[in-house]
A and B are shown apart, each in its own frame.
Chain A
Amino acid sequence: MSTAIAIVPLRNLCRVQKFLPLAASPPPWSLPLGRRTIYHGDYRRPGQTRDNRWPWQKINFDFSKGVEGIRKHFGLLKDEFVQRWKGPEGRPLLEIMLEQTRVLWDFRGPGSLENWIVSSDREIGGRSEAYLKLGRNSTTCLLYGTLCSVPPRDGETRYSGYCTMRSSQPKGSFDRKKHYDLSSFNTLHLRVRGDGRPWMINVGAETYFSHQKDDIYSYFLYTRGGPYWQDVKIPFSKFFLSSRGRIQDDQHSLWLDKVNTIGFTLGDKADGPFQLEIDFIGVCNDPAHNEDFAYEVYKRNPNV
């Protein structure tokens, strides 16, 4: 899908200034929660030295880690075998067939934050900060921090200022990829409390080719602000395809049978503190909504 990008690869707005090469050690990004994996972290900052290690040099051969991994993965494997007796995914078949709503994530207790990856434009050299913690009664998730949209002075980066939170990809035993199958639902349901800033919800689905790995389906999450909770229902048909921050020309509807991640991004260029409190993230089946895709999919003239 991203082959259809017709955007001109823009050169630098400003001339590349002479920058000092950074030290060989990786920069001390202090992200509080899990860092991005090798697969995701293919962005190399301008001026950063290339990682010349061999792939096996990056692997941590640790005995205790191996034992822990064996225990975890064989436990998962056992679960996968045993759960089949009950039904798919360990739930009775009747429950799956009749369900109209499903709660994907709720934040009840400290263990619920482990599956989330928080990052900000620190990765590209910006100055925003984002943290994730549990809310007052340990029943909500509070994403807070400071947004700063001053671009890093590396001569190439032109825009900066984002903070994002993304769920990690579900994995089965032996790190096999698993996906959320949401094909029986058509609406995303969130219960959030923001501070009036607009956010963007990004849904990442499984793709076939590797050049589609940055494909993301996005829609806006407008928060009202104030002390009250806000129930937001967004039909999945409204999500539009974008790749690397650019809306794509040929749009496709989001295929819900293999959903990998869901994320929240803030980048509204209003510098200052922000916060977003999330109660739960669920999906539901809205029978009144029968739209497949909200945007034109036919060949348009002019073919933009």
Chain B
Amino acid sequence: MNSARRLLQTQYFRCLAAAPNYRASVQHVVFAHPPRRTSLSQLQWPRSFHGSPGCSQNRPVTTAVGQGGEKKEKSLVTYDELFEQVARDAKSKATFNRVVDIFSKRDVRRRGHVEFIYAALKKMPEFGVERDIAVYNKLLDVFPKEVLVARNFIQRMFNHYPRQQECGVQVLEQMENYGIMPNVETKVLLVQIFGDKSHPVRKYQRLMYWFPKFKHANPFPVPRDLPQDPVDLARLSLGRIANDLDSTTTVYQMPSTDLSETGEEISLPHIVGTQSPDQRSLLAKHNPSRPVFVEGPLPLWLRGTCVYYYVLRADPPPPEEKVEEPCDPELFGPGQSIFYPLVVDLALDRDLGDDYSFDVDDVEEGVVYAMCMTGQGDQATLGRWISGLQETNPILGQIPTLFRLESGPRELQGASETPRGPDIEAEPRTMEHEPFPEEEHQHSQGMKQ
């Protein structure tokens, strides 16, 4: 916090310098900075208005809004209209800053700044500046400095300027909701505006205490900006859900558009799949008389975006087909050598009664053999994925493949808006073994030999 203290000190010295009875020792500090205007109006310390160090230049006090500004000040001021008026053509950071500047220059007393800040906070996502710390600082800069600071203990006790403090807390809360960490400039501004130990400063301290604690709490972090390219996005999400460093991600088909003979465009969606060596060996052991299933689309959320993936899986094997792995008698039991045991199940920190397993039945589930993501979740595309998988898993040519596809992601999003009961959820399971009727493709039998 050294720089904060220095900033505060310089500000304090400026105040002193403006006062008539400054000491000589202060002077050299003052003149290290560009000398400020020393007009008579500045001598009314401590109740004068001060800008922040960021905008300490001479500020022409003019009403720069234009012709409309004069009229509006007489009427009930709606600051939403100010935003709409200025940013009529483009909503960006520059125009947002211009609106804030216009408001700051309109009136020395910053009349109505609380309402303006509330309106600006609401408009921030519209302008795309909700994650910009500089904009938040600029917004806090709208508050008049040193007027709202409590000057004795009674004021400090009785919630000095409550509306303004609530507004300041609201700015910080919006930063909190968007996950923006305040910086030193924020602190300097808050201390200047509200004084230390005020509610906004407390809120700032809480943010600075808790945010770094949970910053890296997520063991599966998602980058803030996801890749735009669907193939890269599929690689990222498949690597996330595969949870296996050995797994290889293969791009079976790049997205492309072709022109057929008849002249219509055929767009080929991307197909990206992943499979690990373990899955490959498990699939090689699969009983060819039992089918494997392509299931999906299953949702995966990466921060705010939802992607869908498909899995190739088997049903859980019936109990009569379960093969117990024959224990190697040389590893366990009396068959192994006493003097040179191959497996030693011994942990020195474990007592006789220590049992760290949970007393629950295992959930019976089929094995997942491969996963893929595609731009178009119909049976033809997924069939292309399966034929691509056959190159590395020749056994897939003998195993019948069934498609258990639910409605695509678009329909899913549409259905989410309509009320949806728990009974609808069970519906897609009934159409397991039926092919899609509209698919006039080779795979439309649902069986593939």
Pairwise interchain contact B349-A101, C-beta atoms closer than 8 A: no
- Pick the interface stretch among B83-91, B263-271, B416-424: B416-424
Pairwise interchain contact A139-B240, C-beta atoms closer than 8 A: no
Other-chain contact of B165, A8, A106, A144, A279 (Cβ < 8 Å): A8
Q: A13-B118, A101-B358, A133-B422 are in contact. Are A227 and B299 (CB under 8 A)?
A: no
Q: Which of A210-232 contact B (CB under 8 A)?
A: 220, 222-229
Any B CB within 8 A of the CB of A24: no
Pairwise interchain contact A282-B358, C-beta atoms closer than 8 A: yes
Beta-carbon contacts of A251-275 to B below 8 Å, as 1s and 0s? 0000000000000000001101111
- Pick the interface stretch among A64-72, A171-179, A192-200: A192-200
Beta-carbon contacts of A271-297 to B below 8 Å, as 1s and 0s? 011110001101010010000000100
Contacts of A280 in B (CB 8 A): 358, 360
Pairwise interchain contact A228-B170, C-beta atoms closer than 8 A: no
15 A-B pairs within 8 Å (CB atoms) are namely: A8-B199, A101-B359, A108-B361, A131-B421, A195-B298, A196-B301, A220-B218, A223-B220, A226-B242, A227-B298, A228-B243, A269-B304, A272-B413, A280-B358, A284-B358
- Pick the interface stretch among B103-111, B127-135, B202-210, B431-439: B202-210
Other-chain contact of B301, A8, A195, A228, A300 (Cβ < 8 Å): A195
Any B CB within 8 A of the CB of A47: no
Other-chain contact of A198, B218, B313, B316, B355 (Cβ < 8 Å): B218
Any A CB within 8 A of the CB of B5: no
Pairwise interchain contact A224-B349, C-beta atoms closer than 8 A: no
Contacts of B199 in A (CB 8 A): 6-8
CA distance A223 to B303 in the complex (A): 11
- Pick the interface stretch among B14-22, B66-74, B363-371: B363-371
CA distance A32 to B419 in the complex (A): 13
Listed from nearest, the 3 A-B pairs whose CB atoms lie closest are: A226-B241, A196-B301, A225-B300
Any B CB within 8 A of the CB of A140: yes
CA distance A29 to B38 in the complex (A): 67
Q: A101-B356, A272-B306 are in contact. Are A302 and B205 (CB under 8 A)?
A: yes
Pairwise interchain contact A220-B217, C-beta atoms closer than 8 A: yes
Any B CB within 8 A of the CB of A154: no
Pairwise interchain contact B355-A101, C-beta atoms closer than 8 A: yes
Any B CB within 8 A of the CB of A206: no
Contacts of B163 in A (CB 8 A): 11
Nearest-neighbour CB distance to chain B for A298, whole angstroms, equals 13
Pairwise interchain contact A225-B241, C-beta atoms closer than 8 A: yes
Contacts of A287 in B (CB 8 A): 349
Nearest-neighbour CB distance to chain B for A288, whole angstroms, equals 9
Pairwise interchain contact A222-B219, C-beta atoms closer than 8 A: yes
For A133, the closest partner residue in chain B by CB is B422
For B303, the closest partner residue in chain A by CB is A270
A residues apposed to B, CB below 8 Å: 6-8, 10-11, 13-14, 32, 98, 100-101, 103, 106, 108, 129, 131, 133, 136-137, 139-140, 144, 146, 189, 195-198, 220, 222-229, 247, 249, 269-270, 272-275, 279-280, 282, 284, 287, 295, 300, 302, 304
Q: A106-B360, A272-B416 are in contact. Are A295 and B213 (CB under 8 A)?
A: yes
For A9, the closest partner residue in chain B by CB is B166
Nearest-neighbour CB distance to chain A for B212, whole angstroms, equals 12
Pairwise interchain contact A304-B364, C-beta atoms closer than 8 A: no
Contacts of B298 in A (CB 8 A): 195, 227
Nearest-neighbour CB distance to chain A for B153, whole angstroms, equals 17
Pairwise interchain contact B358-A225, C-beta atoms closer than 8 A: no
Residue with the highest number of chain B CB atoms closer than 10 Å, among A13, A98, A287, A300: A13
Nearest-neighbour CB distance to chain B for A103, whole angstroms, equals 5
Pairwise interchain contact B240-A98, C-beta atoms closer than 8 A: no
Any A CB within 8 A of the CB of B380: no
For A282, the closest partner residue in chain B by CB is B358
User: Knowing that A108-B361, A302-B197 are A-B contacts, what are 7 other residue pairs whose CB atoms are under 8 Å apart, sorted by A's residue number?
Assistant: A8-B166, A32-B422, A108-B360, A131-B421, A195-B300, A222-B220, A270-B303
Contacts of B358 in A (CB 8 A): 101, 103, 189, 280, 282, 284
Pairwise interchain contact A304-B205, C-beta atoms closer than 8 A: yes
Other-chain contact of A197, B243, B301, B316, B354 (Cβ < 8 Å): B301
Pairwise interchain contact A103-B359, C-beta atoms closer than 8 A: yes
Any A CB within 8 A of the CB of B357: yes
CA distance A83 to B75 in the complex (A): 77
Pairwise interchain contact B353-A98, C-beta atoms closer than 8 A: yes
For B199, the closest partner residue in chain A by CB is A8
Nearest-neighbour CB distance to chain A for B171, whole angstroms, equals 11
Contacts of B349 in A (CB 8 A): 287
Contacts of B420 in A (CB 8 A): 129, 146
CA distance A106 to B361 in the complex (A): 9
For A132, the closest partner residue in chain B by CB is B422
Pairwise interchain contact A224-B364, C-beta atoms closer than 8 A: no
Contacts of A302 in B (CB 8 A): 197, 205
Pairwise interchain contact B363-A10, C-beta atoms closer than 8 A: no
Pairwise interchain contact A224-B206, C-beta atoms closer than 8 A: no
Residue with the highest number of chain B CB atoms closer than 10 Å, among A198, A226, A279: A226
Any A CB within 8 A of the CB of B311: yes
CA distance A269 to B174 in the complex (A): 14
Pairwise interchain contact A224-B356, C-beta atoms closer than 8 A: no
Contacts of A284 in B (CB 8 A): 356, 358
Q: A101-B357, A103-B360 are in contact. Are A220 and B302 (CB under 8 A)?
A: no
Q: A8-B166, A129-B419, A131-B422 are in contact. Are A270 and B304 (CB under 8 A)?
A: yes
Contacts of A14 in B (CB 8 A): 122
Q: A10-B169, A129-B419 are in contact. Are A195 and B243 (CB under 8 A)?
A: no
Nearest-neighbour CB distance to chain B for A132, whole angstroms, equals 8
Contacts of B209 in A (CB 8 A): 300, 304
Contacts of A249 in B (CB 8 A): 206
Pairwise interchain contact B241-A229, C-beta atoms closer than 8 A: no
Pairwise interchain contact B218-A222, C-beta atoms closer than 8 A: yes
Nearest-neighbour CB distance to chain A for B420, whole angstroms, equals 7
Contacts of A101 in B (CB 8 A): 355-359
Other-chain contact of B356, A100, A270, A304 (Cβ < 8 Å): A100
Pairwise interchain contact A139-B363, C-beta atoms closer than 8 A: yes
CA distance A274 to B313 in the complex (A): 22
Q: A139-B361, A220-B214 are in contact. Are A226 and B220 (CB under 8 A)?
A: no
Any A CB within 8 A of the CB of B261: no
Other-chain contact of A279, B169, B363, B368 (Cβ < 8 Å): B363
Pairwise interchain contact A226-B363, C-beta atoms closer than 8 A: no
Nearest-neighbour CB distance to chain A for B406, whole angstroms, equals 12
Q: A225-B241, A273-B412 are in contact. Are A10 and B170 (CB under 8 A)?
A: yes
Nearest-neighbour CB distance to chain A for B170, whole angstroms, equals 6
Q: A13-B118, A247-B206 are in contact. Are A196 and B302 (CB under 8 A)?
A: yes
CA distance A284 to B349 in the complex (A): 16
Beta-carbon contacts of B168-179 to A below 8 Å, as 1s and 0s? 011001000000
Pairwise interchain contact A229-B357, C-beta atoms closer than 8 A: no
